[in-house]
Amino acid sequence: MASINTEYGRDLRKYGGFDFNACYNCGTCTAVCSLSTEEDSFPREMVRFSVLGMEDDIKSSLKPWLCYYCGECTTHCPQTANPGELMMSLRRWLTSVYDWTGLSGLLYRFLPATVTAMILAAAAVIAFSASRDFNLPEIMKAGHYFEMIAIGTVLAVIFIPNLIRMWWFTMLKPGIKVPAANYFKAAADLFIHMFTQKRARDCEDNNFRWLEHFLLVIGYLALLFTTVVLDWFSSSSLFVIILGYLVSAIVFIVTIDFVSGRIRKKKEVSRFSHASDWMFVVWLVLMGLSAFAVRLFIDLGWLENNLWLYLLHLTVLVQWALIIVPFGKWTHFLYRSFAMYFHSVKSQVK
């Protein structure tokens, strides 16, 4: 028998803004959702589970990740129960469930904790720089090493254990028996969904938004590759320098459009913004802009006299790498890709 947590609704509200208790179960949201199918029907079911406090059923479900938040369901909901935002809030909640450290849930629910973590990260950058007598080449070298160490550590200490937990909650614990070969057969789907997010194109009227997301993913990964592997800030290769300018500009321009969409609130998808949504887009803007400016100052020979610019970039980078990537909205990119993969693995046994 499904277990009921009567406090679940109250907990879930800390992860987003909506009134799912207003739902009278009409099913309009599921009928209008372009991504809902007979086998994987949502979001009405998830709204019911949330109202009834069926926490374990939500925990074992991949459905919140199958939603790409086009907002159609919310537009048509006669009760303004905001099912689209409920699905988003469930994704935030699931992120906190998968995270073994508990930090994800804390940062989502308690904004002062996020602000404190951001301030501590900034203070660590200043303290480290002071310990090196604000020597620019030394700080830049350390910044480059930090990028490599942070990526490896976050992957090994946070992401791999959390993905194992996700697999446990969604595949193993519910008793889904799948031949091991299915995991290999479906492996291509993991990368296809991770890099293209092609399912988002099936959302109604969503092609431009999909294109922006696609450009952002490619631009962001290319920026990561250019700065970490090709060492953009120290490179003298014209190809690497131009590539870095190009990809940082892409990240900046696309995210500026996301920020302006959230300010204008014209589309359903940007009508409600959780603090984590703001943080994600604003930090991406800052990453793209500050990286672009640092390289420009290097090329103009101005950086030595403007150390503050590199310290600003490094602070944004440290906050991004240690807070937003492992515990914030960035994880949705990872978990959604794996959800599509697990979904594909499961689909093969039907």
Among positions 37-66, residues that touch ligand SF4 (CB under 6 A) are: 42-44, 47
Q: Is 94 in the site for ligand SF4 (CB under 6 A)?
A: no
Separation CA 213–CA 280 (nearest Å): 13
Q: Is 326 in the site for ligand SF4 (CB under 6 A)?
A: no
Q: How far is CA 233 from CA 121, 228, 242, 319, in A?
A: 22, 10, 11, 19
Window 207-246: contact mask with ligand SF4 (x via CB under 6 A): ----------------------------------------
Q: Is 70 in the site for ligand SF4 (CB under 6 A)?
A: yes
Backbone angles phi, psi at 231, to 5 degrees: 50, 60
Q: Is 24 in the site for ligand SF4 (CB under 6 A)?
A: yes
Size of the site for ligand SF4 (CB under 6 A): 29
Half-sphere exposure for 334 (CA within 13 Å, toward CB)? 25
Stretch that binds ligand SF4, among 32-40, 101-109, 289-297, 306-314 (CB under 6 A): 32-40
CB 52 within 8 A of CB 5: no
Stretch that binds ligand SF4, among 78-86, 139-147, 158-166, 177-185 (CB under 6 A): 78-86
Residue of the chain from 12, 58, 62, 73 that contacts ligand SF4 (CB under 6 A) = 73
Q: What angle do CA 118, 120, 122 make, to 5 degrees?
A: 70
Q: What angle do CA 194, 321, 192 make, to 5 degrees?
A: 5
Residue of the chain from 33, 121, 289, 303 that contacts ligand SF4 (CB under 6 A) = 33
Q: Is 289 in the site for ligand SF4 (CB under 6 A)?
A: no
Half-sphere exposure for 217 (CA within 13 Å, toward CB)? 19
Separation CA 329–CA 324 (nearest Å): 6
CB 21 within 8 A of CB 50: no
Q: How far is the CB of 27 from ligand SF4 (least distance, A)?
A: 5
Residues making contact with ligand SF4 (CB under 6 A): 23-29, 33, 35-36, 42-44, 47, 67-73, 77-79, 81, 83-84, 87, 203
